[in-house]
């Protein structure tokens, strides 16, 4: 075990300000309201704005940050600009590759429970790290939503190709935004005091909960301590451990440091923790999709209400409207449950959609764009 060990309780004094909530496989049919089965809690994701868009674009142009491109759409006379990872799909075929540094986290709780992303998952022999490395987030799979083949590639790349299908299927057939090469950092150990976190009984392994504000301070310090290049994506991976802010359960988030370096955080979880198939890479696929389409967490949209949103959201968070909606991918002797993701056309109220099959999500969850909320 290597890296830095921090007592998150000591970091609570540094907290200032509030964080804002952002609040081909077979899809699961009947939709349920997602909830925790082992206590009070609702699965959701957070957005933590960070970094500076103009600085990130300057760094990217100089080769000192991940590749970024900008576009816009217009709705009811208002222009909504956005910035995404990769290159403009309408500009022709190009392959962007973003190195990923997986940072496994080992949480040691005050009751003696330890939950580590490098230990075997419950009822298994492989760790969350190994299963993540072998998953369709990083490994190639043939994807054909609605029977339309969009490529043999990683899931979020397949989603992005489908997202801009009108351009990809004509002018840019070899367009890709891929993750790799992939490296795994030394396990980072974190001691959790009773002030910062606790454990719950789970369906197999215990469930951990950790205050997200304290964790995020530690995460930013760890990126710096590990000297992860800004041209890479640092990816913090937990096992069966979720984050809290006003209650459980935040499954993951993405953000950027003060130096505009993007990063992601996601929980790999056991089946049966929630009443919907939020398990294994569900949270990771959500966060990678949102990192790709809203890396600096500043892509505004007309207001919408769907999925985890209990109040009107006005951001291009492509996973939030479909939280808990999964499909299955069998790969490397394991059945994974990536999350559905929402196309730009849905947020832009584009009709017909310019995405694959004229759809609004990768699984065709929504038949029409949403009504506008304020």
Residue 360: name the closest of 342, 334, 337 by CA. Answer: 342
- Weakly modelled stretches of the chain, pLDDT under 50: 1-26, 29
Rounded to 5 degrees, φ, ψ at 142 are: -80, 120
Give the separation between CA 263 and CA 247, rounded to whole angstroms.
23
In the block, which residue shows the tokens 């590990």? 226
Give the separation between CA 191 and CA 7, rounded to whole angstroms.
5
pLDDT of amino acid 47: 87
- Domain limits of the chain? 6-268+284-311+325-358
C-beta of residue 96 within 8 angstroms of C-beta of residue 88? no
Strand intervals (E) in 62-202: 68-75, 78-85, 95-109, 114-116, 141-143, 151-153, 176-184, 188-192, 197-200
Q: What is the pLDDT of residues 327-352, one digit of tens each?
A: 999 999 999 999 999 999 999 999 99
238 torsion bin: left (phi>0), alpha (psi -120 to 50), beta (else): beta
3-state secondary structure of 284: helix
Q: pTM for this structure?
A: 0.92
pLDDT of amino acid 281: 98
């Amino acid at each position: 075990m290597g890296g830095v060990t921090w007592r998150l309780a000591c970091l609570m004094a540094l907290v200032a300000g509030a964080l804002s909530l952002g609040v081909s496989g077979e899809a699961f049919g009947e939709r349920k309201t997602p909830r925790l089965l082992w206590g009070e809690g609702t699965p959701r994701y957070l957005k933590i704005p960070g970094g500076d868009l103009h600085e990130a674009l300057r760094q990217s142009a100089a080769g000192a940050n991940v590749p970024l491109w900008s576009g816009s759409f217009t709705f009811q006379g208002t222009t909504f600009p956005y910035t995404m990872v990769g290159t403009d799909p309408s500009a022709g075929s190009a392959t962007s590759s973003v190195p990923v540094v997986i940072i496994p986290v080992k949480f040691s709780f005050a009751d003696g429970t330890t939950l580590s992303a490098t230990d075997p998952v419950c009822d298994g022999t492989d760790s969350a790290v190994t299963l993540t490395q072998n998953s369709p987030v990083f490994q190639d799979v043939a994807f054909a939503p609605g029977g339309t083949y969009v490529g043999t590639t990683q899931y979020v790349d397949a989603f992005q190709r489908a997202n801009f299908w009108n351009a990809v299927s004509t002018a840019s057939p070899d367009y890709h935004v891929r993750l790799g090469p992939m490296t795994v950092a030394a396990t980072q150990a974190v001691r959790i005091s009773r002030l910062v976190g606790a454990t719950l009984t789970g369906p197999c392994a215990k469930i951990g909960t950790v205050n997200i504000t304290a964790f995020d301070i530690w995460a930013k310090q760890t990126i710096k301590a590990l000297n992860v290049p800004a041209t890479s994506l640092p990816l913090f991976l937990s096992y069966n451990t979720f984050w809290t802010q006003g209650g459980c359960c935040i499954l993951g988030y993405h953000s950027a440091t003060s130096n505009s370096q993007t990063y992601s955080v996601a929980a790999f979880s056991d089946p049966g923790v929630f009443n919907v198939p939020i398990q294994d890479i569900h949270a990771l696929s959500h966060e990678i999709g949102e990192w790709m389409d809203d890396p600096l967490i500043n892509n505004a949209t007309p207001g919408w209400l769907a999925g985890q949103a209990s109040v009107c959201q006005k951001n291009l968070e492509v996973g939030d409207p479909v939280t808990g909606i999964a499909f299955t991918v069998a790969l490397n002797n394991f059945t994974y449950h990536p999350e559905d993701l929402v196309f730009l056309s849905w947020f832009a109220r584009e009709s017909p959609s310019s995405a694959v099959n004229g759809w609004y999500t990768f699984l065709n969850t929504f038949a029409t764009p949403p009504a506008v909320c304020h």
